Amino acid sequence: MKEILNLRVRRIEQTISTDDIIPGRYKHMYTDAKELAKHVFENAIPGFAVTLQERDVICCSDTFGIGSSREQAVSSLLAAGVIAVIAPSFGRIFFRNAWNLGLIALEIPSPSFAEKETVNLDLIKGEIAGNSETINFQPPPEKMLEMVEQGGLLAMLEKRLATKPTIILSN
Amino acid sequence: MNSPFVEEVIAKHADRDSIHEGELVTARVDRVYLQDGNSPTISKLFKKHGFSDVFDQEHVGVFFDHSVLSPDKHIAARLREAEEFAESLGVQVFRAGEGISHVVALEQGWYEPGTIVIGSDSHTCTGGATQCLALGMGASDCAAAMVTGETWLKVPGTVWLDIKGRPAASARARDVVMHVLAELGQYPFMYKSIEWVGPWAEDLSLDSCASVANLGVEMGAKCSFLPQGKDRPNGMVSLHKPEDGDPRLHRFNIEGLPPMISKPNSPGNSVPLDECAGLKINYVFIGTCTNGRLEDIAEAASVLAQGKVRQKVHCLVTPGSQKVYLEALEKGYIATLMRAGAIISPPGCSACLGTQGSIPASGDRVLSTMNRNFLGRMGNPEAEIFLASPLVAAHTAIKGEIPNSTELVS
């Protein structure tokens, strides 16, 4: 999990809101992420959804995921095959949702990898390497990595509750 | 100086004496509320992970606001799932027609000063109006907080906005926020806690405070706090800015600031109103968690008392809550609006996000009082959306085009 090889870069050259990722109406229509995945970027980048595949990493030139709290912006990307997003900055709620669901979100000031370039990601070393360049970043905190490893926030909580007879505040 | 306000609130909820920017902490939450659009997903998450109880039924609520008049069978089915879920948990239910969560939460005291509230909607930050650390979060975070009564938080840095002077008579609270956003962009506010200080922020009505706090998320902030002031709830405190020269302190002199307008497709794309004067508009929408409170409806009515909605302009007015609607009825605002040719829809999120009518037609140009105009926000990417205050919106409805700021002064 912590070292992920052979990711395919998909470039996006604009600010992306969560409305751009998945238009509001669809999240009120469907709870199935696979259904939502068909509509990702439908308004902002028509035709992009069908070109996404397993192990894609979105490399965005500007802020990614500003706006609404919809977690479906993350679940629909995961269902479309995206496993990581790198961008100079993220919408706060999108960033939380991403780690909570196991989508890797990394803040990298000016990622310049080319469209369809193959990159390798090492979350422990804090390194993303392609043909053109190698970028170092602050590795995510242990807590975030643990969440991803355990299958997300709620899977982690489920395990925690199973080992405790009652809910006790952790502090 | 004192600690930033957000640090005091988080420290208190994490049983710590003090706390610092960037720390990851576990904090107790006082309340959690959901909206109808995310409840079906949260319900699914509860089933998947075997959760069936919440930490406190009195302090968890589900608001039915996003799809009040369900527009199709898919959304109708999701609403039934949400209703069933709320009933199975035994939590507080705010039925369709009671109003927008963030408007009702303020009316009902769900945003107690100094408390932490988690909401499944990004505009939960409206709670900053009464110094509640109210945070919009996604479905998994909300589910976790509902079950455990706690959440993980990264302590944000704080930015102070010290506002001096008075805007023009035709400029409203949202115009000041849009001016700041247009000047500085989102960058200084990303993930930050904003504290508004200075006489302008202290003198705002509570409705206007809600409007300012609500737009915090459009600034990129985690939360946005208003200071203690007249006619605000007990328990609010004064906010203390740092010394002059501190890079976290931004000063603005808004003396004579004109009304602003946000052009497509971002709230940050704001310019003085006059730059867009004369543009034809054929759909005006007044309402939402930003500007759907009583003072907003009153303002729209006072303008539309002096004119009629122009032919071929679709003018939709949505009171933010049942309370707002009833008070507007009693004061005669609703009758005035209807006689002028406006359509009044039931309280809720209405046309803000394309989940219910009216969806604009391709080629429509909309002037709305909502908070964001992202491409396709109202359900059609081929419509243009401009954002402005209810004052500007009501004049636009009469004129059929964006007015000049001099026309707004009666």
Q: What is the pLDDT along chain B (410 residues), one digit of tens a residue?
A: 579 999 999 999 999 999 999 999 999 999 999 999 999 999 999 999 999 999 999 999 999 999 999 999 999 999 999 999 999 999 999 999 999 999 999 999 999 999 999 999 999 999 999 999 999 999 999 999 999 999 999 999 999 999 999 999 999 999 999 999 999 999 999 999 999 999 999 999 999 999 999 999 999 999 999 999 989 999 999 999 999 999 999 999 999 999 999 999 999 999 999 999 999 999 999 999 999 999 999 999 999 999 999 999 999 999 999 999 999 999 999 999 999 999 999 999 999 999 888 999 999 999 999 999 999 999 999 999 999 999 999 999 999 999 999 999 86
Give the span between the Cα atoms of B272 and A68, in whole angstroms: 26
Q: Which of A27, A31, A110 is nearest to A69 (CA)?
A: A27
Q: Mutation test of the interface with chain A: which of B30, B41, B102, choosing the one with the most A Cβ atoms within 10 A? A: B41
| CATH 3.20.19.10 assigned to A3-163 | yes
Q: What is the mean pLDDT of chain A?
A: 92
Which positions in chain B touch A97 (Cβ < 8 Å)?
137-141
Is there a single domain that holds both residue B188 and residue B141? no
Q: Which of B220, B253, B286 is the last residue of a domain?
A: B253
Look at A17 and B120 and tell me if their CB atoms are within 8 Å: no
Q: Which of B229, B253, B277 is the last residue of a domain?
A: B253
Residue A171 has pLDDT above 50, yes or no: no
Domain boundaries, chain A: 3-163
Is there a single domain that holds both residue B134 and residue B211? no
CB B121 within 8 A of CB B35: yes
Is there a single domain that holds both residue B15 and residue B130? yes
Domain count, chain B: 3
Q: Mutation test of the interface with chain A: which of B19, B30, B49, B362, choosing the one with the most A Cβ atoms within 10 A? A: B49
Is there a single domain that holds both residue B122 and residue B219? no
Token pair in block for residue B17: 């004496």
Q: How far is A104 from chain B (nearest CA, A)?
A: 16
Token pair in block for residue B76: 């109708």
> Closest residue of A to B218, CA-based?
A67
CATH of the domain at B216: 3.40.1060.10
Residue A1 has pLDDT above 80, yes or no: no
Residue B404 CA, distance from chain mean position:
26
Q: How far is A131 from chain B (nearest CA, A)?
A: 31
Half-sphere exposure of A166 (CA within 13 A, CB side): 3
DSSP-derived letter for residue A141 is P
Q: Mutation test of the interface with chain B: which of A92, A138, A144, choosing the one with the most B Cβ atoms within 10 A? A: A92
Look at A28 and B48 and tell me if their CB atoms are within 8 Å: no
Q: Does A168 touch chain B (CB under 8 A)?
A: no
Is there a single domain that holds both residue B149 and residue B167? no
Q: Which of B99, B122, B153 is the last residue of a domain?
A: B153
Domain limits for position B201: 158-253
pLDDT digits (tens, 9 = 90+) for B335-359: 999 999 999 999 999 999 998 889 9
Q: Which of A14, A102, A93 is nearest to A60 (CA)?
A: A14
Nearest to B140 among A31, A101, A167 (CB): A101
Handedness of CA B284, B38, A69, B143 (dihedral sign): positive
